[in-house]
Amino acid sequence: MSVIELAVPISEEAVRSLHVGDTVHLSGIIVTGRDAAHKYMVENFIRTSASAAQHPPAIPECERELYQELKRLLHEGVIYHCGPVVRQGDTGKWEFVAAGPTTSIREEVYEPDVIQHFGLRGVIGKGGMGPDTLRACRDHGAAYLHAVGGAASLIAEAVKEVLTVHKKEAFGIPEAFWVIRVEDFPLVVTMDTHGQSIHDQVEARSKATLDRLMGS
């Protein structure tokens, strides 16, 4: 099976050409974000933007710079559900020691809004996500890209540079927004823009097998 080379920023045409089962090598600048980051984006940026009568949204001045930076990075970009292990060298430069994916379903309550508001094209994690995120992928042009769990050190080799970090002091290292440059990050498309989810298919097959074994 051929590998699809995907570079950030990702066009809508490119992401809509992907299908579940495709193997992807991703390169470019992406952002990590887990529970605290998603909750923060929704509560401080997305809901504020939706309820504000004025433009730009009624975001506090101290947060506006980060909002604009995330808008720039995430538009046609990728967010990675990852709590990295990092170290800081003598020069003060950060590097990833381990960069394995975390379970994505915890972000199901937030991810559809993040996809729509920021114009995401890709969400990386493990374990898949639910129907609301699948619907958002279809409607707004995004894909869920599954990273291999248990390969944190190997994945860290794809992280070529840590550009900066946001909210480290507020959220802690695992939950911060790490802005990283990756090369040939190996991934598999498991939820696509066509309403297909390998995770749903596996669940359905598992249920059918269980029903058969139970004599249902």
- Active-site residues, by number, are 38
Could you give the CA distance from residue 17 to residue 24 in angstroms, rounded to a whole number?
Answer: 12
- Token readout for 63 is 């947060």
Amino acid, single-letter form, for residue 203: E
Please give the helix or strand (H or E) that residue 213 lies within, else none: helix 198-213
Could you give the CA distance from residue 144 to residue 196 in angstroms, rounded to a whole number?
Answer: 10
End-to-end alpha carbon distance in the chain: 38
